[in-house]
Structure 1
């Protein structure tokens, strides 16, 4: 039990020491707060968008996410985007390994290196092997200009017929939680932000007949482990958990975000899954509300959406209509800027 506790708290303990040292340096200005004060409302809202690198508004947003088709020369692409950006960008990628490996689209980038799935690595080398692999991959990503890996997958699945199974560790809750704890540490020690996904879990949460008490035991433990080890970001899925919020998908549910913030104590950056997914657009259309507005009202900090201009205008209107507070916008943008400061992007 003591060893397991140390495993789950190892990164956060180290982090707290660094935080204490930082707070002792009273002369050092808080770059995130200085930057926030210099931004107008439109600039703040655009910081809350994550887009594809081809988006015409990319230089004004919070960051970009690159996919397989962007792997011709990602280092040059990211450098160009950063040079054009008014505020340094989060440069993200889904590099999970196995079936989701964007780097594999251009083997020449990494000298034909293989990127096995965490499940494959675990079966051969155990948790030490998965941590070593996560560290090596994060180092590669950092060398290419990435500062954010949308990994690890914290979903629990031992059902080989599940759509998410091949992307998970394929082990029980306890082992998955230990894997997530070690992986978060490994990634973030390379100055790359980690992302726990897909909150609150595609495992038993995908079964709408499962009570939330059981989901708490099964699905949330790996997320708790990642949060306790200082995970920088959490991605919220579009799954509907009828036993907790039968009306809204998790990504648009204030109840789910309260669970993440209040029960799990997450203080980092919350990001939506892609809002372009058809079901989400249709849901928002049925509600006669812009999905970007619903995402912000739910409590997301980063919105994965290409609709920067129209989404920003809709959010500004929601602020005028008192549906969203300026205080909430400031809190979200400050979290984003503090992450950028931690990554050394704000100078």
Structure 2
């Protein structure tokens, strides 16, 4: 695999010539899109073609389409998907209905993404909803019950892959207990390992077979008191050896304020810690230049994991979107207010 161990974003809804040349030379493994890159289904499909043409291969194109607060494709051109907490609420009323509704919702998400050329979704969120924690997770979590999160997380992954979209579970080993928003500050989790293994870490262990996972920019005192998990060899070793996750491990966005150091340093430290590749989202060319300078090609086990993650996009099947919407509406109509 010639691609390099990075995923990049871009500035706007059209790939300009400077970006095209940069991506051609840098050869990132994949791309990630945000609301600033989205205008219409037709424009989005053209953009995805342009991105793949720039590197000359069927590179994965990612987006954050969880539902609720975190969805980049929005009404009126796309469906407004409910937040994860709604499905957790249904699950508590009727386990099978909650699982079915979660699968349908993510099958619908996959249908919409694939129609515009997007084939990887940074979802589901397996973090716990923890009272008193920072609100950055909140209703993005299915709830606080480990068994429920694992069951609904599996249904979400199955729904996405049935539509040919590869899922990324996040934020491993668990973001729900964070005391700050890692977009702006470095959170710390102080609870003992024994508690974390029964709670925050447990959904990721249950879904250790996921094709991809995204790290949490959090210091876990139980794993490494000095370094956030993304750049900690101790934390990544725990994720691999104790949680058992052997899929493709990507960092959360390196431009988030939780991480300190230059972009070259952040890239090197994340990869040296054991992450397979780094993620950079804001499209800033100077920052991407520094990352590209520090980022090697995907080789060895990381390249094997990348190929397996790409294969998770290959299960797309036909689906009646309108019937799916009706079925989901019917299931969710029973959720108590």
TM-score, length basis structure 2: 0.76
Select 2:249's aligned residue among 270, 292, 305.
Answer: 270
**1:16-55 pair list within 5 angstroms:** 36=1, 39=2, 44=3, 47-54=4-11, 55=19
Residue number in structure 1 paired with 2:333: none
Change (3 A) 1:284 1:71: same
Q: Deviations over 1:143-163 (max 9, x none)?
A: 211110000000011427641
Q: CA deviation at 1:118?
A: 1.8
**Matched residue, 2:265:** 290
- Asked if residue 313 in structure 1 is aligned to residue 293 in structure 2, the reply is yes
Following superposition, the deviation at residue 50 of structure 1 comes to 0.7
Distance 1:161 1:250 in 2: 18
Cα deviation per residue 1:296-338 (whole Å; 9 max; x = unaligned)? 101111211253432233346xxxxxxxxx9x84332332234
Q: Select which of 29, 38, 44 maps to 1:62.
A: 29
Gaps of 5+ in 2: 12-18, 91-96, 180-187, 316-337
Match of 2:310 in 1: 340
1:81-120 pair list within 5 angstroms: 81-104=51-74, 107-108=76-77, 110=78, 113-120=79-86
1:80 matches 2:50: yes
Partner deviation per Cα, 1:122-164 (whole Å, 9 max, x = no partner): 4345222122111111122112111100000000114276411
- Aligned counterpart, 1:254: 233
Confirm or deny: 8 A CA contact 1:204 1:210 kept in the other structure.
no
- Alignment partner for residue 166 of structure 1, among 139, 154, 159? 139
Q: How many residues align?
A: 282
CA RMSD in angstroms, aligned pairs only:
2.4
Aligned residue for 2:225, secondary structure, equals coil
- Give distance in 1, aligned partners of 2:312 and 2:125: 23
TM-score (norm 1): 0.74
Partners of 2:109 and 2:294 in 1: how far apart?
Answer: 38
Distance 1:204 1:215, change over 3 A: farther
Q: 2:127, 2:170 within 8 Å by CA — same for their partners in 1?
A: yes
In the aligned structure 2, how far is the partner of 1:58 from the partner of 1:64?
A: 10
Listed as ranges, the matches of 1:315-330 within 5 Å are 315=295, 329-330=299-300
Are the aligned partners of 1:158 and 1:172 in contact in 2 as well (CA < 8 Å)? no
Give the drift of 1:341.
4.4
Q: Equivalent residue for 1:3?
A: none
Q: 4+ residue stretches of structure 1 with deviation over 6 A?
A: none
Tell me the SS of whatever aligns to 1:96.
strand
